Structure 1
Amino acid sequence: MTTRISRKKAILAIIVLLALIGIVFFAYAIIRSKENPDVTAAFIEEHMTNDNGTIATYLKPASSENPDIVAGREALSESLGLWMQHAVLSGDRARFDDSAQLLTTYFLHNGQETYIRWKLRPDGQSEVTTNALGDDLRILDALLKAYKLWDQDEYLQLAKEIGSTLQASAQTQGYFVDYHDFERNASAAVLSLVYADISALREMQNNGILSRQKYEQYQDLLSHMPSDGIFYPKTYQIGSGQYEYDASVNLIDQLIVGIHLAEMDHPPKELIQFLKGEFRKNQQLAGRYNRKTRKPDAAYESPAVYGLAIILASKTNDLPWARELHDRMIQFRGQDPAYPGGYVFDGNTHAFDNLFPLLAETLLEPTVK
């Protein structure tokens, strides 16, 4: 009888031990998924990729009613550029080559001028004849860094073709501008400061695509840019030479401009101080702020905002703050169990709310191992 009881106890102990091991393993898997940026890349590949390989802008399909406004599963050159930058940062040559193939197959218009269409339909066809400067420069940055990393001449040659078109057509009074309509041969008269991508412009100058004088022109544009004490202007008006502010400040724009400044070794100290204060006080950052009151102008939080704030913190060597921001950012990941690794809310998400966090985590990952 005693032997039978002892045997039952032993079996029960084994069952309990196995259950505990299972719980520990499950908890470890959850923790790893929270810390591993590959889960977001896997979400993008599984759920945000169209049949032709292009990255959809939104998770949910929707019809486009205006060719100038993105909808549903349409693909943006912005998303392609971010995906290419992630491939370079993570050293994933296969992913980069696939992206470069998408660029040349679908986005690149090869006619009298070689330019990148800023938007495609889900099937890869395009109804637009304009580029988007910021997206072009992001793609150029990725191509030139990939050339440096893998020594592939075709990356450099493609970058030179795109850069040559930008210089020939997408300028107004000697400045790159937001877009050029290649069908109407008309350019914008404004340069949004988020598009003054100093990293890309530096790579262009280093590879003989842009003159040193032109590169320094954009350095001067940013270094002499005014500030209202915290926030930066939205645009530079080419004709008047005036900088203009938005009344309601989009924090994504501010952070990208701040990253450009950090790339020049001119960190945006007042902006960072303000954001740290906001985060310390509220344990969150709002998506928009009223420029005059400095109060949140929107109730939402954006994973893209946190991703960009992490990138800015990393580039200013403020790793403790980067990790605090990271802890807040990943609270929004995987909330919808149908889409593990994704930043999905109410069954939908925007590509950049996954791509910017992915870039941020890839940049931060070596520092948290």
Structure 2
Amino acid sequence: MIKRRYLLCSSVVLFLLLTACQADGSTAKRLDAKNVKHSYGEQLQVTQNRDILYQFITKKLTGSYGVYTNLLETDQTSEAATGHEVLSESAGLLMRYYALTGQKERFDEQWQLVKQTFDLSTGFSYRYSPKLQKKFTLNASVDDLRIIRALAEASLMFHTDGYKAELEAYGKRFYQNNIANDQLYDFYDETYKMRNTFITLCYIDTLSLKLLEVPKANKSNLESNMLKIAKEGYLSDEFPFYQTRYDYKTRAYQSENINTVESLLTILNLAEVGQQKDASIQFVKEQVKAGTLVGQYSVEGKPLNDVRSTAIYAMAAILGSIIGDKELYETSIQRMNEFQILDQQSPIYGGFGDTQVQQAYSFDNLMALLALAN
């Protein structure tokens, strides 16, 4: 069990990160000290939910190379990651959890595993298949930025400069490969030495971009460009979510349908720098309270399914923590915990998944873990 005295809520870390970023003259909105909250997870006494979830993740959902993409194994030959393949996404989420909860030894173990499993010369591989012994030779900028953020959070939490050299080195590498003409791209492919032509809006992690050690003028232009793209992807006050991607060649936004996880991540990223829309927050609060925040919508805001996933409510809770809205946090956690498996005879006890087919996905479980620690 995590000792209470080690806990540091994400809003405190955000305050410290933003304060540090102010030194370079960035345009980020500084969080006022009065908005720094204590950990809502501690206040609401959900540590038991978190403890059994952590045990499920580390004892059942984890192997030699990291957290499984899914508890249910496959032959690992699909186009998308499946089964006991591991993702740098999962590794970065776990690194952030260990940093935010003050677990230095476990953070260091996870960081070493990340470097052994995912490190390429140009970034962190987004995916590794143990069965095929295959490290995919492209990264995902959102995942690399999450790892970079975790190093910064660890440096603040553990009061050490030990991670700063690595933070600088990996930040420079990221800047060289995933950024061009002061624009962020989804991925860099090491094999073909190429980027894609667009940016997925939920990849625009402005606060993490501020951590990159790059020339001040370039950094300012990059932050300004990407924040503008994210903000102008806003759909409408009637349906206050965000477009899916922005194509640099056509200079146009593109969305087939709106995935809630992606739009929530965009809102989270904007909230971290004080740029969230009030209409977005209100919409999320109303839908969470009613239990009707579903997985996908049309561009006009029509629900396209009735999927109420763990990750959606976890992200809504984290949003509540970021903006200091305890009611949103509490309601979201209550909705999320409705899905937690509490049957001690189940192989998924403590986790979030489908007991009938024995599936449990890394993203759902790790986002829930982060939410319970916020």
User: Do the structures match in fold with TM over 0.5?
Assistant: yes
Partner of 1:147: 155
CA distance in 2, matches of 1:124, 1:92: 32
Unaligned segments of structure 2, at least 5 residues: 1-43
Preserved CA contact (<8 Å) 1:172 1:238: no
CA distance in 2, matches of 1:335, 1:234: 35
Larger Rg: 1
CA distance in 2, matches of 1:172, 1:125: 31
Identity, % of aligned positions: 26
Partner of 1:37: 50
Preserved CA contact (<8 Å) 2:71 2:83: yes
Query: 2:243 pairs with 219, 233, 250, which one?
Result: 233
CA distance in 1, matches of 2:276, 2:172: 31
Does the alignment pair 1:48 with 2:66? no
Higher helix share: 1
Which amino acid in the other structure matches residue 54 of structure 1?
G
Q: Cα 1:57–1:275, aligned 2, differ >3 Å: closer, same or farther?
A: same
Deviation at residue 152 of structure 1 after TM alignment: 4.2
CA deviation map 1:267-302 (0-9, x unaligned) = 23222222333334x43421112222x232112210
Partner of 1:115: 123
Q: Cα 1:336–1:352, aligned 2, differ >3 Å: closer, same or farther?
A: farther
CA deviation map 1:20-63 (0-9, x unaligned) = xxxxxxxxxxx97774412211110001111x241111001111
Deviation at residue 106 of structure 1 after TM alignment: 1.2
Secondary structure of the residue aligned to 1:211 is helix
Query: 2:112 pairs with 101, 114, 133, which one?
Result: 101
CA distance in 1, matches of 2:196, 2:149: 22
Which amino acid in the other structure matches residue 69 of structure 2?
T
Partner of 1:325: 332
Partner of 1:197: 205
Partner of 1:245: 255
Partner of 1:59: 71
Partner of 2:369: 358
- Greater RCO (Cα-Cα under 8 Å, separation 6 or more): 2
CA distance in 1, matches of 2:307, 2:195: 34
Secondary structure of the residue aligned to 1:334 is coil
Deviation at residue 303 of structure 1 after TM alignment: 0.4
1:121-136 correspondence to structure 2 within 5 Å = 121-122=129-130, 125-136=133-144
CA deviation map 1:205-238 (0-9, x unaligned) = 6998973343333233334443233121111111
CA distance in 2, matches of 1:186, 1:95: 35
CA distance in 2, matches of 1:158, 1:209: 23
CA deviation map 1:132-153 (0-9, x unaligned) = 1110000000012212332444
CA distance in 1, matches of 2:133, 2:161: 28
Unaligned segments of structure 1, at least 5 residues: 1-30, 364-369
**TM-score (ref. length: structure 1):** 0.81
Equivalences, count: 325
CA distance in 2, matches of 1:57, 1:211: 34
Question: Which stretch shifts more, 177-186 or 115-124?
Answer: 115-124
Does the alignment pair 1:261 with 2:270? yes
Which amino acid in the other structure matches residue 144 of structure 1?
A
Q: CA RMSD in A?
A: 2.4
Does the alignment pair 1:178 with 2:191? no
Preserved CA contact (<8 Å) 1:145 1:203: no
Question: Which stretch shifts more, 328-337 or 189-198?
Answer: 328-337
Does the alignment pair 1:89 with 2:104? no
Preserved CA contact (<8 Å) 1:61 1:73: yes
CA distance in 2, matches of 1:350, 1:37: 16
Secondary structure of the residue aligned to 1:236 is strand
Preserved CA contact (<8 Å) 1:62 1:71: yes
CA distance in 2, matches of 1:207, 1:232: 30
